[in-house]
Amino acid sequence: MLSAEEMSDRLEIQDLFTRYCFAIDDRDWNALDQMFTADAQIDYTATGGSSGSLPEMKQWLAQALAPFAMSQHMVSLPRLEILGDTAKSRMILFNPMMMEDAEGNQSTFFVGVWYHDALVRTEAGWRITHRSQKLAYTHATANAKGVRTV
């Protein structure tokens, strides 16, 4: 049986992951400061992206997501291993992204990823210290061209 503290930790970490998805889709890069530690390392290279520090990745995300009119990051099924003030997580990401060309034609690109995270409890709550990903699949509608993933 889970203790009250472990249930609270799990809910707080799941909320952290939800806030991450909304920040990415809302293009609220500064909100990521509340989700990652200042020294966090983020690695999106498994899907053709970049890797680096939080400031570097915020800048990269702004550029990488600029061509997309819409994205919808959805995470689910986090497998959490909480060890006191640290935790590890593996979860599924499903991410459809829509592009629109100059004529208004829409194309959609889908990416499935497993996020692998290391987390730490801070005075301000749980934060991600390291995020990497493993690509599961990609799929693009027939008219999608030149798509980069996140």
What would the pLDDT profile of 114-141 be if each residue is shown by its tens digit?
999 999 999 999 999 999 999 999 998 8
| pLDDT at residue 145, as a whole number | 62
- Report phi then psi at 16, rounded to 5: -60, -45
| pLDDT at residue 36, as a whole number | 98
CB-CB contact of 132 with 116 (8 Å): yes
Instruction: Classify domain 4-140 by CATH number.
Output: 3.10.450.50
The lowest-confidence range among 31-35, 40-44, 108-112, 142-146 is 142-146
More confident residue, 40 or 146: 40
Whether the per-residue pLDDT at 149 is higher than 50: the answer is no
Mean pLDDT, residues 23-50: 97
Question: What is the Cα 130 distance to its own chain's centre?
Answer: 11
Q: Are strands 36-43 and 125-140 parallel, antiparallel or unpaired?
A: parallel
Tell me how far apart the alpha carbons of residues 123 and 113 are, in angstroms, rounded to a whole number.
Answer: 30
What would the pLDDT profile of 55-110 be if each residue is shown by its tens digit?
999 999 999 999 999 999 999 999 999 999 999 999 999 999 998 888 888 899 99
Domain boundaries, the chain: 4-140
Q: What confidence category does residue 20 fall into, taking pLDDT thresholds of 50, 70 and 90? A: very high
pTM for the model stands at 0.91
Q: 60: part of which helix (H) or strand (E)?
A: helix 54-65
Mean pLDDT, residues 145-149: 53
SS3 labels along 90-104: EEEEEEEEEEECCCC
| 3-30 residues labelled b (16+ CB within 10 A) or e (exposed) | eeeeeebbeebbebbeebbebbbeeebe
Whether the per-residue pLDDT at 150 is higher than 60: the answer is no
